[in-house]
Amino acid sequence: MVSYYIKTNRTFTAIRRYGWIFTLLVAFGGLWYPKLGLLVIPVIISLTTVAFFKGRYWCGNFCPHGSLFDSLIMPISKNKKIPVFFRSKFFGILFFAWFSFNLIRKLIKVSAIYGTAPFWDKLGFVFVASYLMVTIVGGTASIFFAPRTWCNFCPMGILQKLSYRLGKLLGVNKKTDQKISAARTEMCHTCGKCSRVCPMQLTPYLEFSDKNQFDNENCIRCSTCVVNCPAGILTLNNEEIALQIKGKTDITGYENRQKIQAHVEKIKKLKDDIIEYTFKFEKPARVDYKAGQFILVKIQNDPKMYRAYSISSYNEDSTKVSVTIKKMQDGYGTGIIFANFKVGDKVELEGPMGNELVVDKTAEKVLLVGGGIGITPFRAIVRDLVENKNDIKEFKLIYGVNYQEEFIYVDEFKALEAKSDKFEFIQVAAFDKKWEGKKGFVTDVMKEMDLTGYKVYMCGPKPMTNAALKVLNQLNVKKENVFCESA
């Protein structure tokens, strides 16, 4: 079954990766050397202090148990939805009361022997026992539900929320209180990836405030959503900086974003795993869009979720749009689209969006680079540049795949090449021994070119665009002349 939640790296620092060593040392080492439990006292003091200024930042960045769950247990976790009961306020408060009562009771009992030889061992053991309990209960919940199940009712989490609220009440943490912030919500793809990778299974994309911040107190400020957002709009910042970023972010290309009711007009299978879908607009009946933009296709209502697709059709009369979709192995969204979308079905779209691949028609020379399914926007772009007036003197398209069977729309590109003396079409296959054309990666072709005076537009998988950015840097193509989107 296709999994909704995505297992992805959450351990970006050495503390997050190896903090679990501390957990195992105290929880198990403490059984032989109970004084190790005393190390938990500074941990509790630190997390309460950090929380006063930064909410649950400790949980996402320093917590040794968090490291155990994210680093060691995640690979074997079922990574399922955390049961609602464990996430409820009722259970959290009840568990906090029970845990605090027991801890205080044990501390009072131990305090009775203060000044005697076994005092420090007994005191340490109180914390060793708690650490062991969290390791066993939290670890088991991690395996059977999701890695951070425990964190939803952890008493230390509640303690941090109380400390954070006190900081807020006193008005002292405005500058230090960094929250997940969206540069501009207009640029959000509503893809839900921030939620699918979130250790706490929160839904930031559905809850941004009018200051573009995610105010949920259970956010552990781990930045996993920041790293994974395909739109690159998320940061961890305080309110002041979030508003500054909002003010500075250019939303050219997103101004006409709108909800569009449409229906599936045509489904064309290009390969076993690649299908071109044409949607006819209904309400509004006409939507203007530019070559190089993308559009969102709704895949489900609860939680609301779309997938972004580059527009592969040339805009003839603004009444329809095509997207060309490659089915991802175990892909959540493409699984739904390939299985459910039939001709005549109603579909909700949102867009058009994006400006990165809208080619500057006043440029002198243009290089287009498409890798794999990243070729889709160039189908519309090349036709636009061949058929419509512009100042461009020459433009080339490098189209890279692994094996020649993967090429799509080749006849169309060749026909456009024959029609225009300004356009050159270059195909390259990386691993195909039978392929008689250029062999290698798109970067191998780029290295052979003199790119002086070129504007470069790229779309493809991240490894391709990253490698191409390096080559362009070596070829002295200035950053401001490079535009890139990862498909």
Ligand X SMILES: Cc1cc2nc3c(=O)[nH]c(=O)nc-3n(C[C@H](O)[C@H](O)[C@H](O)COP(=O)(O)OP(=O)(O)OC[C@H]3O[C@@H](n4cnc5c(N)ncnc54)[C@H](O)[C@@H]3O)c2cc1C
Which listed option, ligand SF4, ligand X, none, makes contact with residue 485 (CB within 5 to 8 Å by class)? ligand X
Q: CB neighbours of 340 closer than 8 A, spacing ≥ 6?
A: none
In the shown chain, the binding pattern of residues 161 to 190 toward ligand SF4, with x for contact by CB under 6 A and - for none, equals -------------------x-x-----xxx
Q: Quick check: 308 binds ligand X (CB under 6 A)?
A: yes
Q: How far is the CB of 326 from ligand X (least distance, A)?
A: 4
How far apart CA 137 and CA 146 sit, in angstroms, is: 13
Which listed option, ligand SF4, ligand X, none, makes contact with residue 180 (CB within 5 to 8 Å by class)? ligand SF4
Q: Quick check: 122 binds ligand X (CB under 6 A)?
A: no
Exposed / middle / buried, residue 111 (Cβ in 10 Å: 0-12, 13-18, 19+): exposed
Q: Three-state SS for 7?
A: coil
Taking CB under 6 A as the binding criterion, the range among 275-283, 328-336, 359-367, 433-441 that sits at the site for ligand X is 328-336
Q: Quick check: 82 binds ligand SF4 (CB under 6 A)?
A: no
- Rounded to the nearest 5 percent, the helix, strand and coil shares of the chain are 45, 20, 35
Indicate which single residue of 48, 91, 176, 331 sits in contact with ligand X (rule: CB under 6 A): 331
Q: Quick check: 63 binds ligand SF4 (CB under 6 A)?
A: no
Which listed option, ligand SF4, ligand X, none, makes contact with residue 194 (CB within 5 to 8 Å by class)? ligand SF4
Q: Which of residues 204-233 bind ligand SF4 (CB under 6 A)?
A: 204-205, 214, 219-225, 229-231, 233
Q: Quick check: 334 binds ligand X (CB under 6 A)?
A: yes
Structure tokens at 259: 């909800």
Tell me whether residue 229 or residue 416 sits nearer to ligand SF4 (CB atom). Answer: 229
CB 214 within 8 A of CB 229: no
Which listed option, ligand SF4, ligand X, none, makes contact with residue 326 (CB within 5 to 8 Å by class)? ligand X
Q: 163: closest CA among 15, 58, 37, 40?
A: 58
Taking CB under 6 A as the binding criterion, the range among 246-254, 317-325, 381-389, 415-423 that sits at the site for ligand X is 317-325
Task: Give the residue carrying structure tokens 């209502």.
Answer: 301
Q: How far is the CB of 328 from ligand X (least distance, A)?
A: 4
Side-chain half-sphere of 19: how many Cα atoms within 13 Å?
23
How far apart CA 305 and CA 297 sit, in angstroms, is: 9
How far apart CA 38 and CA 126 sit, in angstroms, is: 9
Residues in binding contact with ligand X, number by CB under 6 A = 23
**Phi, psi angles (nearest 5°) of residue 377:** -65, -25
Q: CB neighbours of 487 closer than 8 A, spacing ≥ 6?
A: 310, 372, 373, 374, 376, 459, 460, 461
Q: Quick check: 51 binds ligand X (CB under 6 A)?
A: no
Binding residues for ligand X, rule: CB under 6 A, are 3, 6-7, 230, 294, 307-310, 323-326, 328, 330-334, 373, 376, 485, 487
Binding residues for ligand SF4, rule: CB under 6 A, are 60, 180, 182, 188-194, 198-200, 202, 204-205, 214, 219-225, 229-231, 233-234
